[in-house]
Amino acid sequence: MKLILASQSPRRRELLKGMGYVFDVKPSDTQENFDGTLGLDKALMKVAREKAKQVFEQNPNDVVIAADTIVCADDKVFGKPTDKQEAFDTLKSFSGNWHQVKTGVVVMAKHYVIEHVETTDVCFKDLSDDQILAYVNQETCLDKAGSYGIQDTDFVSKVKGSYSNVIGLPIMVADKMLKFLQYDPDIQI
């Protein structure tokens, strides 16, 4: 029985590896259809569940962990930006303000579907247009929800909650979910 990470995110890979887990990577190719009519947590959980389910159906004797992260402020969801201008506008709106990072985590194994949404509050420093532009021009922001990676900027002044959640996987929660499975003698990862 193997542990499979259903994500192509190098950040999730690093976090899971840092927790001491040995795993295979098999990214899900499901469409990330975020249904805002469900409410943020339910919509996020649905996307993460669909990722996990698609990979689990192809690997029913293994344990699959999947996650999806969104950034939101004032009921607006900020996904990965479509271009530099959108990234700039997003970061400008976060300047001096609080926003939330939410990650839906799903673990699927024989007889189990364990789900959790972790929410972390993040406050940005007041940023100048030049600071934002210098970061946006690096283009690393284009593959990140909310247009930034906490690990590669100094924009954040305060974090309330899980720091690793802002990177893309709340490690304490993920570890508890995976350790829960160890109580089942049929599941050995």
184 vs 181: CA distance, rounded Å: 6
122 and 157 Cβ atoms separated by less than 8 Å: no
Beta strands in 48-142 (DSSP E): 63-73, 76-78, 98-109, 112-124
Cβ-Cβ contacts under 8 Å for 29 (sequence gap 6 or more):
54
What's the distance, Cα to Cα, between the start and end of the chain in Å? 6
| Residue tagged active-site, from 35, 41, 68, 175 | 68
65 and 119 Cβ atoms separated by less than 8 Å: no
87 vs 144: CA distance, rounded Å: 10
Active site residue 68: yes
Catalytic residue numbers, as ranges? 68
